[in-house]
Structure formats: C-alpha cells, structure tokens
Structure 1
Amino acid sequence: HRKFETLAAAAIALFLLIVVVEVAQAAVVRFRSGGAPSVTAASFAVMLGTLAINVAVVRAERIAATRLSSELLLADARHTQSDVLTSLAVIGALIGSTMGYPMLDPLAALVIVGFIGRAGFEIARDAAKILSDEIVISEEDVRRVVERVPQVLGCHHIRSRGSVDHVFLDMHIWMDGATPLTEAHAISHEVKDLLMERFPQIADAIIHIEPPPRESKGAGRTS
C-alpha cells in the first residue's frame, strides 16, 4: 500500500505543476495590464487567517508523517508549506499595493511560482526515487554489518528499496554447505537482527542462504 502513497505524492507534484503554470500565466497578464489589485482590511484578515491555519497544518502533518512514515503526508506537508510561503508573498504584495507599488503583486506571483515549483520538484524527485527502487542503504554499509557474524563467509545481491525511513532489504549470504539447517536458520535471524539494530529504518529484511562459490571455498570471506 505504500506504493499507492507514493503515487498519490506524485499526483500532488503534478497538481503543483499545473498551479505553477496558471499562476505564472496570471502574473504575465498582470504585468501587461499594469492594473492594481483591490486591497481592503478583509484582504489582510483572510491572508493572515490562511497563514495561521497553514502553519498549524504543516506542523501537524510533519509530526504525523514522521510517526507514520507516510510519504503522502510528507508530500502534503511540503505542499502546505509552499502555501505558507505563498501567503507571506501575498501579504507582502498587499502591503506594497497599499503603499502605491501595484507591480509588487505580479512580482509576488513570480515568487510564488518559485516556491510552488520547488515543492513540486522535491516531491516528484522523492517519488521517482521510491518508484524506481533506488538504493537506500549502500551495499558496503550492509556488508560491514553482515560480515560481523563469524559463520557468514560473504554476501552479495544486496538490494534495498523504499523510502529513507521505511526500507525493504533482501540479500544472499554465503555459509558453509555443511551447516545444519536449524543452525543456518538461526544465523540468518542473527544477521537480520543485527541489520535492523544498525539500520532502524529497515521495515523488513529477507535473507537468502546459499553455499559459497566453488572458487571461494576455504578462502575466507569474499566481498
């Protein structure tokens, strides 16, 4: 189900891209027309209220995203954070307009485009990493932990995927072919426990056991 969260995060990035295009187009129109926006006390009240709500939402979503390891909540928190910056830019534009600088309005719109565009890019980048199963934990870091177990002769086919705080790991370890099945099973659990202790972000690890290649038998550990 976490893949669906990542897809939802990618959808948020697409939505932000659409918003960027629309805001940029509106800014260009305002530059050409040169018209001043209508500013009232209600305008400031609405923007200040929106700012306060968005700040509270960002804080709550970030806390929940960390607790639940949710890419969707984190993506929405970034989206809402861009809304916070947007509100600040709009408030600045409103102040500028009341002081006789109407062109601050389209300039603020371009600043908003930058904020939203950056948030969309970061969300899309992180979603792409997860969907493409980019390596999350380096093979060398995993190998150093695994080979602390004396009975492990080496390891290979190390694959880690997922998000930085919710990782799935699978790998192959080499053990003496004469090792009894029950002992080999216990050793694989020892390896798994060591990995999950060293990397608490690992949600699950699958350890495959196999005899070492013929050329490495009796030659000690092989990387």
Structure 2
Amino acid sequence: MSTPQPNAHLLRWATYAATATALVLVLVKVAAWLLTDSVALLSSTVDSLLDCGASLVNLLAVRQSLQPADDDHRFGHGKAEPLAGMAQAAFVAGSGGLLLVQAVGRLTSPVEVRQGAVGIAVMVFAIIATLALVSFQKYVIRRTTSVAIAADSLHYTGDVLINGSVIVSILLTISLGWTWADPLFAIGIAGFLMFNAWTIARDSFDLLMDRELPAEDREQIVALALAIPGVMNVHDLRTRSSGPQQFIQLHLTMDGQLPLIKAHAIGDQVEEAIRAAFPQAEVIIHHDPSGLVEPAAHEVFPAPSPSSPP
C-alpha cells in the first residue's frame, strides 16, 4: 500500500494560492498593458497568463496525485505531477516563442511607452505578491518535495526577475527615450521563459523515466541499513520517485544461520530507520542469507569490518 501523504493540505493550499495569485496578476497586468502599450509589460502579462494556466494544471495534477493507490494503480497516482510538468513546459516554450516574435517586431518598429508610472506601480505590486507566494511555496516544497510545486515555484521565482526587468525597461524608455529598451528586455524575458521550459521538461522527464534518487540520498540509505547490527551488506538498491512519494527497494545479506523471525526483526529495524529519514517513502526489503553468489553486475555495499578504522 502506498504511504499516505502527510502534508496533503499544504499541497492543496499551495496550488490554490498559486492559481489565485496568478489570476489577480493577469487582471492587473492586462489593465496596465492597455494603458502603457509596453511590450515588456505585455511579456510579463503573457507570463502571468501562462502561470495561471500552469497553476491550474498543477491544481488538478496534485489533486490526482494525492489519490490513494487503488486496484488499477498499485503505486498510486504520483506520475500525474511530472505529466503536468511536461504540459507546463510546452505552454511556457510556446509563449516564449510568440513573445520573441512580438518583441522583434517592436525592436524594428519601436513604440513609445505611455503612462509609465502606472506600469511601474503594477510591477511593484506584482513583485510583492509573487515574493509572498514563492515564500509559501518554498515552505511547502521543504515539507513535501513535490515536483509540481517546485516547477510552479520556478515560474514565480523567475517572475520576480521578469517584473524587475520590466520596471527597468519602462524607466529607460520614459526617462532616456530609449524605445529599444522595452522590446530588448522582452527578448531577454522570452529567452528566460524558454530556459525555464527546458528545466521543467528535463526534471519531469527524469521522473517519468524513474530516475534514481540523488547520490547523496542513496548513500544515506545504504549507511542507515549498514548501521543496523546483523546487516552484513546491502545490494540491489533501487530507488525512484512518483510525485511526492519515493520508492526504495534493497536486498540485505545476513547470517544464513539466523532464525527467520530474527532476520525479519532486523529487516524491520532497517525499514524503520529508512522511513524515519524518508517519511514519504515506501520501502521494500528482500532478505538474503550469507554465502549466496550474487551476479557480478550487482552493486554490493559491505558493512565495515570491526577491525577497520572508522
């Protein structure tokens, strides 16, 4: 059975907060863009519109990923998160391409920015609202390790930089008359969006392909298992993530003369130690008696001998 998500309410509130924030920013920025005719502000509006769509996709994906395992999905529904990430990457890349076309057109045919003070005020409001959202998302990520929330947070962290660049472009345009600054900043924002799309797609693809947990996590798992008395070595360690949940499988070698009930108790201690360090993990342990010849391709982590220096 899949491990219940202990922070499901945090995940849900993070998706609600992101969707609501993006929707408010879209409405405010659309009004500001109509007043200023700034293409840099338009680029920020497009980005917020995409954030709104992506956050809505995340809301649905997180809700699906939190569904418990059932007869048809024995490992749960966590893959909904990286699937949502791939959709986000496609939307963001497409918007970056469209924005690039618009910005290049404005670069060749500059248009004067109107009512720059309004645009600056809107960007300051957007930065404050976005920073508040990102702070909450970072807290949720630390508690849940959710890939969907991490991808969403990447959007909004970038938005802080985007909104700041829009302020600079408007100031340069209205103060120095540099009409080329507005579309030039928009081109930079388009490139940033495409980079974000690639990052989100890469991370989502790794999860869909069951990429192993980071090396430091695997080393910690091995160390925890070897620290339990009676474990002679660890081998065939396999790990993967599915949404906020991890799956850890490993083999333990023990003295072949141990009673089954004793070997089982040692395995339980190993599982408890790993679960304490990875509370959202499902741990599967196979017990092997010493003396078996394992295939050479299997990676074996032996326990240090008593005479070995620490």
Q: Aligning the two structures, in what range does the TM-score lie when normalised by the shorter sequence? A: 0.7 to 0.9
**Residue 47 of structure 1 aligns to which amino acid in structure 2?**
M
Question: Is 2:79–2:242's contact at 8 Å kept on the other side of the alignment?
Answer: no
Runs of 4+ in 1 over 4 A off after TM superposition: 163-166
Cα pair 1:36 1:103 within 8 Å, conserved: no
Matched, 1:9 2:91: no
Give the one of 203, 210, 226 matched to 1:147: 226
The answer to whether 1:136 aligns with 2:213 is: yes
CA distance in 2, matches of 1:68, 1:150: 31
Among 107, 110, 131, the alignment partner of 2:184 is: 107
Cα 1:111–1:215 change in 2 (3 A) is closer
Question: Which of 186, 193, 197 does residue 116 from structure 1 map onto?
Answer: 193
CA-CA distance at 1:140 after TM superposition:
5.1
The Cα of 1:104 is off from its aligned counterpart by 0.2
User: Mean Cα displacement is larger for which, 13-22 or 134-143?
Assistant: 134-143
Cα distance in structure 2, aligned partners of 1:179 and 1:146? 17
Q: Using the aligned pairs only, state the percent identity.
A: 30
Cα separation, partners in 2 of 1:215 and 1:18, compared to 1, 3 Å: closer
Cα distance, 1:181 vs structure 2: 2.1
Alignment-mate amino acid for residue 252 of structure 2: I
Query: What is the aligned partner in structure 2 of residue 181 from structure 1?
Result: 260
Gaps of 5+ in 2: 1-64, 66-77, 295-299, 303-310
Is 1:208 the counterpart of 2:286? The answer is yes
Residues 215 and 108 of structure 1: CA distance in aligned 2, closer, same or farther (over 3 Å): closer
- Counterpart of 1:78? 154
TM-score after normalising by structure 1: 0.84
Q: Where in structure 2 are the equivalents of 1:183-202 lying within 5 Å? A: 183-197=262-276, 199-200=277-278
Q: CA RMSD in A?
A: 2.6
Task: Give the length in aligned residue pairs.
Answer: 218
Distance change in 2, residues 1:39/1:103 (3 Å): farther
1:63 to 126, 139, 143: 139
Q: 2:204: which partner in 1? A: 127
The answer to whether structure 1 residue 92 and structure 2 residue 162 are counterparts is no
For 1:44 and 1:214, the matched residues in 2 are separated by 71
- Answer yes or no: is 1:172 the counterpart of 2:248: no
Aligned-partner residue type, residue 284 of structure 2 = I
2:103 is matched with which residue? 27
What is the TM-score when the length of structure 2 is the normalising length? Answer: 0.62
